[in-house]
Amino acid sequence: MKKHILTTTARLFAAFVSAQNVPTAEIQKEVDAHLQNLPFASFSIKVPSFGAKVYNIKDAGAVGDGVTVNTEAINGTIKKCSEAGGGTVVIPAGLWKTGPITMMSNVNLHLQAGAMVVFSADPKDNPIVEGKLAARINGENLKNIAITGQGIFNGNGSEFRPIKREKLTEKQWNKLKGGELSADGKVWYPVKGVAANEAKLKTLDTKTLTGAAAEPYRTGIKRPYLINIEKVQGMLVEGVTFMNSPHITNMLRNIDGLVMKDVKVLNEWWFQNADGLDISVCRNVLMYGCTVNTGDDGICMKSSKSSANGRQFGLENIVIKDCKVYHAHGGFVIGSNTDGGMNNILVQNCDFSWSDVGLRFKSGKGRGGRVQNIYCQDIFMKDIAESCIEFELTYEDKAVSGTAVDKNLSLAPDFAGLYFSNIYCDGAKSAISIGGTADLNVKNLEFKNMIISSNSGVDAFRSQNVTFDNVQINSLLKPVYKLNKAENITFKNIPSVPENGTFAKILNAETKNIVFQGGNVKAANVEILNGAETSQVKFK
């Protein structure tokens, strides 16, 4: 009988350990499968794995009652696990209040179903260190880490975030309590002392702020990210939900070997600066099965030269599959900071609904760099507020506005070599917007096998070497295409033209070498204006 009891206990313990640990072998198979048959050179990712040791934060005195602050218990358990060689730190079901959580190497932070981690906004739980608040989940210079499970990280962002009146209904606005309004009554701040001193606070040496003087800075000016982890070799984020972020929800920077699976971001659409899933200067990344609803960019790629460690491309080898984005400024976004360079990105089999823009590419002088080998395939969109696909080379980020670098053409946007295929959109304000500048063009774009139903069609301004192959734009307004200072534009196999109205307008003499090849477009469907040369429009 004693032997039977010991055997049963051992089995139960083994089952418990297995339940806490991510099934690495299973995920590794999924990762390997997703990284096959890429449109660029293949790469591999080794999924992090962990030892059998399991540490429960309750054993360190943590209490999940929503009142007790568990910062020391959680961080102490993570440290203990890491120093013992690694394993899994379990946060069980409960309401766990805490200050910032710091990740360490060889640790899998695992949230069981029913676990909600709520980050305290109390100043005593959030000291300012080196002039800033730590991200709610943070870590740097690590290896082999994971954040997994079925629980929720609630950033408690309403205690930090200003709110613009224009984004709320009157009823929602009237429910705001405490805090203060800006002088013009258009912005509500969660604490007093921000509105009147905002400009001054931005210029202060924040490292010297303490006590009451630090409070406006803490909540109104420099809000913390929900998760910001940097310089990691091997990272997995799986299953968890991030919500109610004070600022950017997910900023993962300088990660080599990152897997994100079934991650959810849930923020209201009016949350200020609440980017969903930001990947910055990372290499070898797979994101699949993720869901985003947020108040800024949905899934966003960033690359800053200052963080690229001398690499030719700061962001490289990125695969994004089977993801869904609802409210967001853009479903999939590149920019605005692209100065570190980007290379080899595949976005495939994704759904976007209610976003301002579906596929958004934005940058500007002072923030731009080379962006190439970008593939967007099998993208399905519904009810897009603005453009289905948009290129903007004049994007001005307030963080750098007015500085000398804004006019520096050595850091100019350079979008060249982007491929779009099997794109379908039912409902958008405009189909495709391509906007260059007086000294910059968008170059080498291919659009193939697409159907877009929209209010207006395609605007191509200062663009070069663009091909539309079997692209059907069902536009309510005509012309379907407006070509403005565009060169080397080729239309292939266009399936239909409007019965009434013009298919394309050639708007000026700087629009050259427009070729219609195959399909149903005839000379009568093209209007040539403002001195444009008829010899520059060819039918083959």
Domain ranges for the chain:
162-220
Q: Residue 213: which of 229, 228, 232, 191 has the closest Cα?
A: 191
Block residue for tokens 């869901």: 291
Q: Which 3-state string (H, E, C) describes 276-295?
A: CEEEECCEEEEEECCEEECC
Number of continuous H segments (helices) and E segments (strands) in the chain: 6, 36
Tell me phi and psi for residue 157, to 5 degrees: -65, -25
pLDDT computed for residue 209 by the predictor: 60
d(CA 157, CA 415): 35
Q: Tell me the β-bridge partners of 475.
A: 454
d(CA 253, CA 277): 11
d(CA 60, CA 233): 28
Token digits for 404? 């000398």
pLDDT computed for residue 400 by the predictor: 39
d(CA 448, CA 493): 10
pLDDT computed for residue 126 by the predictor: 87
Q: Residue 330: which of 309, 302, 311 has the closest Cα?
A: 302
pLDDT computed for residue 8 by the predictor: 42
495 upstream amide cis, omega within 30 of 0: no
pLDDT computed for residue 18 by the predictor: 44
Token digits for 191? 């604490």
Cβ pair 489, 466 in contact under 8 A: yes
* Overall residue count recorded for the chain in this entry: 540
Can you give the pTM of this predicted structure? Answer: 0.92
pLDDT computed for residue 336 by the predictor: 95
Blockwise average pLDDT, block size 10, the chain, 540 residues: 44 44 82 98 97 97 98 98 98 98 98 98 83 90 98 95 92 91 88 69 61 59 89 98 97 98 97 96 98 98 91 96 98 96 98 98 92 98 98 71 48 92 98 90 95 98 96 96 97 91 95 95 94 94
E strand intervals along 200-282: 227-238, 241-243, 250-261, 264-266, 277-280
Cβ pair 137, 100 in contact under 8 A: yes
d(CA 270, CA 78): 34
Question: What does DSSP assign to residue 129?
Answer: B
Q: What single-letter amino acid sits at 63?
A: V
Token digits for 65? 């009652």
Residue 140, CA distances (Å) to 80, 110, 207, 277, 451 in order: 17, 19, 20, 18, 45
Q: Residue 319: which of 292, 345, 296 has the closest Cα?
A: 345
d(CA 214, CA 480): 55
Tell me phi and psi for residue 158, to 5 degrees: -65, -20
